[in-house]
């Protein structure tokens, strides 16, 4: 089940505690990704700046995680929205 549908169902059922748990898990994952980016860029920033090919494994790993981080940010915004409504 997509997170937006899951949050919508929780909202309709007024399950604030469950939404709070989801928000907490999303923030934990965001923290994990933030640590990943800090460490990854610390290790590979110099190499990545010299590689123009975005299909290179270093860039692919970064892009994959960045897409995940971007979607996670949207999910957090949606969950926060539902929290404000309840």
pLDDT band at 86 (very low <50, low <70, confident <90, very high): confident
Mean pLDDT over residues 38-64, rounded? Answer: 94
Cα–Cα dist 83/53, whole Å: 42
pTM for the model stands at: 0.84
CA distances from 74 to 38, 40, 68, 83 (A): 21, 23, 10, 14
Structure token digits, residue 20: 């709070």
Contact 7, 81 (CB under 8 A): no
pLDDT digits (tens, 9 = 90+) for 5-46: 999 999 999 999 999 999 999 999 999 999 999 999 999 999
Is pLDDT at 70 greater than 80 in this prediction? yes
Mean pLDDT throughout 44-53?
93
Q: Identify the three-state secondary structure at position 67.
A: helix
What backbone phi and psi angles, to 5 degrees, belong to 53? -75, 110
Domain ranges of the chain: 3-85
Residue 1 has pLDDT above 80, yes or no: no
For residue 53, the model assigns a pLDDT of 93
């Amino acid at each position: 089940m997509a997170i937006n549908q899951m949050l919508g169902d929780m909202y309709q059922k007024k399950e604030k505690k469950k939404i709070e748990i989801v928000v907490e898990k999303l923030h934990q994952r965001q923290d994990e990704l933030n640590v990943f980016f800090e460490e990854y860029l610390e290790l590979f920033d110099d190499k990545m700046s010299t590689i123009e090919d975005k299909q290179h494994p270093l860039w692919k790993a970064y892009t994959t995680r960045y897409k995940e981080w971007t979607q996670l940010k949207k999910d957090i915004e949606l969950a926060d929205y539902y929290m404000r409504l309840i």
